[in-house]
């Protein structure tokens, strides 16, 4: 199934990290002015106003708060590290509740001195540990599989199949998946696992940007949609075929774009959204 063309901005969400130089207040105002309808908030953007007031500012601009980024980083070599990670995830859940965000995206973590299997086991244990706390506060947790280039230190969850398997193991309506085209576009099982994800009720979020070739930095060189090699409309088609009706969230980390004027960059994102998502 191929996705029908996007004709309006009603499902466009932008992550505050995309326009990192802007404060939350400025980002909310500028997003609303550009016709964007949703906002995902990074935890560092909460510092100035605190989570409750940050939520009020977004809603006053007419923006729907889609998620809080991010929790996770569960694997550690010692108990002190694991305990600190669990505490930090509970704090993130409190922040999401105060902000009014229904979902926390999890960058699950990996530790270079642990095997990937051990890291994945600790991730499932960590999510299971904080899950009752999230459930009580009505906050969902979205496992975001990361590209395998991050398997050494950012996430031992690198395919959608692994994330779906974790959701199967955890069996909770409060645990699902954030599917990011940047991390998963290369996966030969992507269509099959996207359909499994949606039909199992796990598909909580959909993130878009593009993969620049050659990539100049492993973390901070994401491209605007249409400037890379990802067939985003095809993947969006699979996501919609899987029953997803949520926001298409733009998440771009780019030292290049952060160093320039954010207003024309945001307009470029909106134009690219209509053409290339
Ligand atoms: Zn993402």
| Residue 164 alpha carbon to ligand 1 centre in Å | 16
In the structure encoding, which two tokens stand for residue 69, read together? 């980024």
| Residue 5 alpha carbon to ligand 1 centre in Å | 22
Q: Give domain status of residue 232, yes or no.
A: yes
**Residues 6 or more apart in contact with residue 98 via CB below 8 angstroms:** 50, 51, 52, 55
pTM of the model: 0.97
Contact predicate 97/131, CB 8 Å = no
SS3 sequence, the chain? CCCCCCCCCCCEEEEHHHHCCCCHHHHHHHHHHCCCCEEEEEHHHHCCCCHHHHHHHHHHCCCEEEEEEEEECCCCCCHHHHHHHHHHHHHHHHHHHHHCCCEEEEECECCCCCCHHHHHHHHHHHHHHHHHHHHHCCCEEEECCCCHHHCCCCECCCCHHHHHHHHHHHCCCCEEEEEEHHHHCCCCCHHHHHHHHHHCCCEEEEEECECCCCCCCCCCECECCCCCCCCHHHHHHHHHHCCCCCCEEECCCEHHHHCCCHHHHHHHHHHHHHHHC
| Residue 144 alpha carbon to ligand 1 centre in Å | 7
Q: What's the domain count of the chain?
A: 1
224 Cα distance to chain centroid: 16
| Residue 70 alpha carbon to ligand 1 centre in Å | 10
Residue whose token pair is 């499902």 = 11
pLDDT for res 5: 83
- Tell which residue, 66, 54, 2, 47, has the closest CA to residue 28: 54
Query: What's the average pLDDT block by block, 10 residues per block, for the chain (277 residues)?
Result: 81 98 98 98 96 98 98 98 98 98 98 98 98 98 98 98 98 98 98 98 98 96 98 98 98 98 98 97
| Residue 99 alpha carbon to ligand 1 centre in Å | 19
| Residue 12 alpha carbon to ligand 1 centre in Å | 14
Q: What is the CATH number of the domain that holds 134?
A: 3.20.20.150
Contact predicate 69/92, CB 8 Å = no
Q: Give domain status of residue 7, yes or no.
A: no
Model confidence pLDDT, tens digit, residues 195-232: 999 999 999 999 999 999 999 999 999 999 999 999 99
Q: Which domain range does residue 130 map to?
A: 12-272
**Residues 6 or more apart in contact with residue 246 via CB below 8 angstroms:** 11, 66, 204, 205, 206
| Residue 149 alpha carbon to ligand 1 centre in Å | 14
In the structure encoding, which two tokens stand for residue 236, read together? 């969006």
Q: Give domain status of residue 1, yes or no.
A: no
Contact predicate 196/205, CB 8 Å = no
| Residue 107 alpha carbon to ligand 1 centre in Å | 9
d(CA 190, CA 30): 34
Q: What is the sign of the dihedral through the CA atoms of 211, 67, 170 and 109? A: positive
pLDDT for res 7: 83
pLDDT for res 2: 61
| Residue 180 alpha carbon to ligand 1 centre in Å | 5
> Do the strands 140-143 and 175-180 form a parallel or antiparallel pair, or are they unpaired?
parallel
Contact predicate 109/154, CB 8 Å = yes
| Residue 79 alpha carbon to ligand 1 centre in Å | 28
| Residue 251 alpha carbon to ligand 1 centre in Å | 6
Q: Give domain status of residue 70, yes or no.
A: yes
| Residue 250 alpha carbon to ligand 1 centre in Å | 8
Q: Give domain status of residue 277, yes or no.
A: no
């Amino acid at each position: 199934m191929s996705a029908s063309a996007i004709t309006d901005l009603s499902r466009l969400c932008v992550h505050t990290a995309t326009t990192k130089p802007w404060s939350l207040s400025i980002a909310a105002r500028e997003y609303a002015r550009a016709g964007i309808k949703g906002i995902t908030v990074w935890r560092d953007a909460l510092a100035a106003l605190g989570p409750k007031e940050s939520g009020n500012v977004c809603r006053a601009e007419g923006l729907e708060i889609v998620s809080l980024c991010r929790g996770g980083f569960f694997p550690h070599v010692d108990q002190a590290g694991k305990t600190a990670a669990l505490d930090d995830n509970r704090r993130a859940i409190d922040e999401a509740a105060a902000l009014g965000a229904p979902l926390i995206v999890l960058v699950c973590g990996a530790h270079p001195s642990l095997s990937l299997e051990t890291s994945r086991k600790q991730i499932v244990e960590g999510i299971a540990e904080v899950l009752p706390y999230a459930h009580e506060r009505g906050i969902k947790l979205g496992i975001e599989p990361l590209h395998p280039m991050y398997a050494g230190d950012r996430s031992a969850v690198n395919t959608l199949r692994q994330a779906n398997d974790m959701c199967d193991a955890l069996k909770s309506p409060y645990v699902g998946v954030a599917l990011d085209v940047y991390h998963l576009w290369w996966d030969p099982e992507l269509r099959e696992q996207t359909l499994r994800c949606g039909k199992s009720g796990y598909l909580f979020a959909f993130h878009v940007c593009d993969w620049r070739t050659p990539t100049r930095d492993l973390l901070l060189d994401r491209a605007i949609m249409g400037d890379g090699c990802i067939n985003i409309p095809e993947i969006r088609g699979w996501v919609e075929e899987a029953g997803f009706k949520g926001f298409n969230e733009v998440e771009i980390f780019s030292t290049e774009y952060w160093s320039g004027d954010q207003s024309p960059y945001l307009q470029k994102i909106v134009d690219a959204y209509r053409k290339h998502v």
